[in-house]
Amino acid sequence: MPAAAQPGRTPLLLCVTAFAIFFFPSNMVIEPIGAAGTVPIILSCLLLVFWICSWVWGLHDPIPLRHPGRLALGALILGVGASYAALNGGWSGTITAAGGAAADRWLILVAASAGLVLVTSECIRSMADALRLLRWLLAGAAFCCIVGVIQFVTHTNPMDWVQMFMPGFTDNGGDTPFQARGNLIRVAGSTFHSIELAVVSGMLLPLSIWRALFDPRGWRWWHWTQTALLAFGVASSISRSGMIAALVALCVFIPFLPRLARRRVLIALPFALVVLFMTVPGFATTLTSTLFADSSDPSIATRVNNYPRVAMLIDQHPLFGLGPGNYIPENALQILDNQYLNAAVSLGLVGVACLAVYLFLPGIAGIHAARHALSPALRCLAGASAAGLLVAGVCSLTFDSLSFPVIALLYPLCVGLAGGVWQMVRAEATSFGAKAP
């Protein structure tokens, strides 16, 4: 039996967590915990608890399982931890109740991210393991995009029905299921915002194509339908972030496709664009005005006008910033829409350097692994993982990514997947006597 056709051993809790990232509304929280009390964050923290207990009780040894994703996670922990210590030590000014709560939420997010990176990277040992995880993850993403299709066509929000069946949870607000853009209504699916839907869809598009090519289980038509739904998720945002996400994903991923599949994808792309232009009224006009907008566009003007204020805030606390999560805009015009600027203000220059390592090192390492992989399927998987990670790193320049709950958890899950793929490439190279990455 081919390795990919064998049943995967990925733990059920990890698979359910991957699905939950997209299924459960991130505005529904357990009130005593606050904004960090969502179902996906709780499950991710539970993964970390199990990982620590397993290590302490000697059930597994994580030390030999090294990969670049761990270094990236360490950089995130260092940057956020240093800023948190500076805030509580009084070096970042007077701490307020709201500021302390925001910083605590960031620590919980870091713990959840650590659980996803560590558990995923150590549980993905084979193609079958990767496929089992991706089936759950892409099923959640397909649900998210189907919600987006319903929102786009009917202008109703099915996530309201999901919230009705979550007793004990409170609506914390913050989600924006609908937003006008030119002649169209942008939708968010089950994410917080239409831009978040576009970016996470772009991150998963290469992995969905890989799954459609190499998954021996299930209906092939459904695999490609899931891929088409993710393409809709990118296009429906009518945003620069979505177009950048698609461009980065395809430019990184296509070179690692098998030759025949690469030709088919390149042939299919123009037809997919024609279908979008012909079936969505006003798509071409809205997209053109969005892509070629100048500084008079309100979205661009808001970003540019914030630069002097950002420079002033960095000058006040250059090293460790205001504290994790402590940049709280007073109105919509002060939202930075740039994760690196946000980190420079809240985490300081030390934190933004650590964040850059967190957001770019795993993707770059993924390309390195793809170049060293010997089998076509593993090379393609490594390239798909790298493409998704680099989408997050590049698009963090156009929106404050880690402030959005879906991508903030999807990214470390993908880092963990890339770490497992890195180990698989090393094992493959060792078994064939080749040079390991």
Mean of the per-residue pLDDT values of the chain: 87
pLDDT at 124: 94
| b/e map 23-48, b = 16+ CB within 10 Å | bbbbbbbbeeebbbbbbbbbbbbebb
pLDDT at 277: 58
Q: Which residues touch 162 (CB under 8 Å, ≥6 apart)?
A: 23, 24, 25, 190
| 86-90, 214-218, 249-253, 433-437: segment of lowest average pLDDT | 433-437
pLDDT exceeding 70 applies to what percent of the chain? Answer: 88
Residues 151 and 198: their CA atoms lie apart, in Å, by: 15
pLDDT digits (tens, 9 = 90+) for 394-412: 999 988 899 999 999 999 9
88 or 276, which is more confident:
88
Q: Judge whether residue 284 has pLDDT over 70.
A: no
Instruction: Indicate the pLDDT class of residue 1, thresholds 50, 70 and 90.
Output: very low
Element (H, E) at 29: strand 28-29
Instruction: Indicate the pLDDT class of residue 366, thresholds 50, 70 and 90.
Output: very high
pLDDT digits (tens, 9 = 90+) for 78-127: 999 999 999 988 887 778 888 888 999 999 999 999 999 999 999 999 99
| 123-132, 211-220, 228-237, 377-386: segment of lowest average pLDDT | 228-237
Helix, strand, coil share of the chain (percent; to 5)? 70, 5, 25
Q: Which residues touch 71 (CB under 8 Å, ≥6 apart)?
A: 357, 361
Q: Judge whether residue 166 has pLDDT over 70.
A: yes
pLDDT at 63: 84
Q: Judge whether residue 17 has pLDDT over 50.
A: yes
Whole-angstrom CA distances from 324 to 74, 85, 166, 408 are 16, 10, 30, 14
Q: Are 409 and 114 in contact (CB under 8 A)?
A: no
Q: Helix or strand or coil: residue 333?
A: helix
pLDDT at 18: 97
pLDDT digits (tens, 9 = 90+) for 26-35: 999 998 888 8
| Top-confidence range, 31-35, 230-234, 283-287, 331-335 | 230-234
Total-model pTM: 0.92
Phi, psi of 152 (to 5 degrees): -65, -40
Residues 21 and 148: their CA atoms lie apart, in Å, by: 15
Q: Judge whether residue 281 has pLDDT over 70.
A: no
Would you give the DSSP letter of residue 8? P
Whole-angstrom CA distances from 1 to 6, 126, 219, 345 are 7, 14, 19, 54
Instruction: Indicate the pLDDT class of residue 139, thresholds 50, 70 and 90.
Output: very high
Amino acid at residue number 181: R
Q: Judge whether residue 329 has pLDDT over 80.
A: no
Q: Judge whether residue 257 has pLDDT over 60.
A: yes
